[in-house]
Chain A
Amino acid sequence: MIRTYSSTSGRFDWTGFLFAVVLAIVIAVPLLVVFTWAFTEIWRYPAVIPQKFGLRFWNQTLSRADVWDALSISLQLSATVTALSALICLPAAYAFARMKFPGRDLFFLSFLASHAFPKFGLLVAIAAIFLQLNLIATFWGVVLIQLVGTLMLMIWIPVAAFQAVDRRMEEAARDVGAGPLRVFWSITLPQAGPTIFAAVLLTFVSTFYETEGAWLIGAPQIRTMPVLMINFINNQVVIQYGAVLSVILWVPSFIALMFARRVIGTGAFAKGFGA
């Protein structure tokens, strides 16, 4: 992946090589360690390579009821939050992209506001309010807190997607007899579709991994996968439980990012921020 030979002089590119090594250590080694631990049965000091590989801890982890409960809760939460977020944000994104109304820029920036404060401070403040509303440790409490976090992603990317749709296409559809709603459904949405799909996917994944809000508002009744993983890592003597869970959690995000790559590559983020 990294070209270590410069094409002009043919000399070894030591700077590039150094960067490659540093990046590999920082990114790849932790991953490697977690992966190794997940498939290890016995690994005692001072061996560099585990003494025994195996799937014993996978069986044990996957047979735990709390893991499946957490997975179910996590999927329900993510699906609910993503659907609500799309319901709220997509029409708003279309309005921001296509319509002119007073206070447009201010509204647009307000979606960024929740990201402009230290997140934990905000969460604690919200938790205090939720306590009075009896939302602490409830499903909908967690949904609400996670919804706030998804707003930015679900607004900014779809705004760029809608803006990228050629207006002439929409006009051509009006010209052949389609009303405004029909144009949106048959032309605008399919045209913006791939980008919006990526935004939905990213929202789902980021909600799936969201930890602080879920932990602060949801504990102890609502335990999501990441919260469970942190519990395992903090409280269990056996490292493998945490490692196995990490690897399981890693898979969906990897798939999602593969899908999202094409969107990020086309500069949808940049366009959203330039809007």
Chain B
Amino acid sequence: MTVATDQAAEASSKLSLHPMEQFTVRPLFGGTEIHWYTITNVTLWMAVAVVCTFLLLVYATRARALVPGRGQSIGEVVYGFVRNMVVDVAGEEALAFFPYILTLFMFVVFANSLSLIPMSFATTSHFAVTGVLAIAVFLTVTIVGFVKNGTSFLGLFWVTSAPLPLRPVLAIIELISYFVRPVSHSVRLAGNMMAGHAVMEVFAGFAIVLWISPLSIAAITAMYGLEIMVAVVQAYVFTILTCVYLKDALHPHH
């Protein structure tokens, strides 16, 4: 038993492959205990995301220019992008939820992108974070669905376009898929972020072996480019799925 762990420790120390270590939550100002209020690397990188949101959407647009400058243009593009997404997917009446959806998008897109800075911390690679986001969306959508439609919201599970004998079966499938939504919603985001970062870490671990390091560095470079795309695409996917779920809540009849 001890021999096995020693061997494993020895092998890993040689190559120093700790791909998951980068996701460790650590207190910033010493100590080992992590209370709910402890200031950790999570706090730091979420704060950076908040500051970046402020810089892009408020500071860059401070001129309120009729002909926008660079920063204001980017802010307006993000605003228009998310607004069009909400209107196209969920319809005009979903605009009441536009601030919430923009909040989600800004948080996820900045958390994902900032995690690509070397030595930073990927907050969206944790199920605790994406799970809370997904459960918040799930609860909001469910409550809005019942408040707006009453019990006819349950029509979402009763597929009237299908033949009658099939409907109970479909209802069970629809019900399961409805409750699986928050799981897939959160695991998709956290899994993508975790996998990309872990793969880069593994390649980085191999870089200390001389004959393999050029290949390893090339692979890290390629992965980094891919991860930039993944960071933005996953934020987009998370947001558009939120819009799709919201559309179900507002218009439950297929």
Q: Bound pair: A and B?
A: no
